[in-house]
Structure 1
Amino acid sequence: MQTEKVIDHIVNWLKDYANNAKVNGFVIGISGGIDSAVTSMLCAKTGLDLLCLEMPIHQPINHVSRGKEHIKQLKDNFANVKNTLVDLTPVFDQFKAEVSIIDNQATVDMALANTRARLRMTTLYYYAGLHGLLVAGTGNKIEDFGVGFFTKYGDGGVDLSPIADLTKSEVYDLAKMLGISSSIINAVPSDGLFGDDRSDEDQIGASYPELEWAMSMKENGKKLEDFEGRKREVFELFSKLNANNQHKMVPIPICEIPKNLK
């Protein structure tokens, strides 16, 4: 990959899109992870307004500290960057107090994790509306189009996706070229939606390099019977997640009414 040229391409694409939409710039949620770090740096390089939101909800302290470190790096290097802290913990706790909780703890935990993401989406769009900004998504190709590892109408609720055509490995390549801090580059990928230290790999069941391999094999027409051992396990997992999460990746189904019924 021609990393420097890819960076220039994305920055120009972002700038052209924002100018054509007649908005002032972008708003993005900073998580302390590599995807939001790379995306925010790309947005900052456009020279347009960039508002970075910290939206903690019982967040692990290392996620918070990495996010603050990255925002400082952005503000030290770009005059167009501002930041706001919105503590959503009380909002989330009040929500939990008001809704019904069933006995299946795993189901409750997943529903609440998705609620965290949707509260953040609502907050991003509130500030986007206040300041005439676009919500920049941080999903990469594996998450958005491979296994559907995002929350529908949560972190999937965005105006544009600058890095959604890049694999996780390619995002790391951009991060190194952009000078993203080593604490973020070396951090174990985690969505932070459960308030603990579980990683993306813990949740998905495979690493990003394994998922990238499976995605490339599927794109090349390979079948489950072509593999054995761990490769077979990963390919089967990828195929299952890809099929089960298609509802996140395709447009909302519309019930089309036959003309003779109208």
Structure 2
Amino acid sequence: MTKKRTLQIEKVNTHIVEWLKNYAENSKVNGFVIGISGGVDSAVTSTLCAQTGLKVVCVEMPIHQAPSHVSRAREHIEQLKNRFPNVTNAVADLTSVFETFKKEVPTTSNEATVNLSLANTRARLRMTTLYYFAGIHGLLVAGTGNKVEDFGVGFYTKYGDGGVDLSPIADLMKSEVYQLGTYLKIPDSILTAAPTDGLFGDERSDEDQLGASYDELEWAMEVNDSETDTNTFSERQKTVYEIYKKLNKNNQHKMNPLPVCIINC
């Protein structure tokens, strides 16, 4: 089985901050806009962006949001503003926009399909909102996806939270994001909360949706890239590995480049 890398957290922090700063300066933009969800990924990403000294706008975009998500997001934003004078915040309550959208589109008898489509719609409304803020302030939309989500199981919405200008933490496993979050003094309320995408307006966790924890999925992702004999797996490991393989296969349409019909006739 592959061995997990040992991060030199301080060096990783410096490296990402310099990468962000150089990219923004080369792009001739003023800084970054980030959607703040109350989760560790957006908290770490916004703190990294704040360290560049460039303008950072943290945007809350509630849509029937669970109160715990809202309170964690606001706790982080206030902490970040107190630490960094270049950070500002905005609130765009998209609940009424979402409800108007629902009235204008058809529904079906398949409730599960409708609910999933509406969950993805929430993510796409937020993406549109972030690009509005980016446009009026001359900013880049900073993505908050980690390596497991972006390149392992494809746990994000295409053209939703996957619609960004750059991805500063996409080469970090979820466990590594937590390590960096601890180093960056992210609020404990965020570090100890169960990860959730918040797209269904309730308290369901990512693990509830995926069927496996991030630690388990990291293990499966590492095993998949090694020559480990799957016959040595426990029953739970076999289950997790199958979950990973299925999600990875089904979500290749998100992770691969957009297919283009090449005309050569």
Q: Give the C-alpha shift of residue 227 in structure 1.
A: 2.4
Aligned-partner Cα distance in 2 for 1:12–1:157? 22
Q: Which residue of 23, 31, 36 maps to 2:29?
A: 23
Q: Which residue of 138, 147, 165 maps to 1:141?
A: 147
Q: Supply the RMSD in Å over aligned alpha carbons.
A: 0.8
Q: Which residue of 193, 197, 217 maps to 1:191?
A: 197
The residue type equivalent to 1:13 in the other structure is: W
For 2:233, the equivalent position in structure 1 comes to: 227
The 5 Å alignment of 1:110-259 reads 110-222=116-228, 224-258=230-264
For 1:67, the equivalent position in structure 2 comes to: 73
The CA deviation string for residues 123-182 of structure 1, in whole angstroms up to 9 with x for no partner, is 000110111000000000000000000000000000000000000000000000000010
Aligned-partner Cα distance in 1 for 2:168–2:82? 23
Is 1:94–2:90 an aligned residue pair? no
Q: Which residue of 47, 72, 77 maps to 1:41?
A: 47
Q: Give the C-alpha shift of residue 247 in structure 1.
A: 0.6
Q: In structure 2, list runs of 5 or more residues that go unmatched.
A: 1-6
For 1:51, the equivalent position in structure 2 comes to: 57
Q: Which residue of 2, 11, 31 maps to 2:8?
A: 2
TM-score by length of 1: 0.97
Is 1:107–2:113 an aligned residue pair? yes
Give the length in aligned residue pairs: 259
Q: In percent, how many aligned pairs have the same letter?
A: 67
Q: Give the C-alpha shift of residue 221 in structure 1.
A: 3.3
The residue type equivalent to 2:133 in the other structure is: Y
Match of 1:26, SS state, is strand
Aligned-partner Cα distance in 1 for 2:181–2:23? 22
Aligned-partner Cα distance in 2 for 1:51–1:95? 26
Match of 2:88, SS state, is strand
Q: Give the C-alpha shift of residue 228 in structure 1.
A: 3.6
Is 1:224–1:236's contact at 8 Å kept on the other side of the alignment?
no
TM-score by length of 2: 0.96
Match of 2:24, SS state, is helix
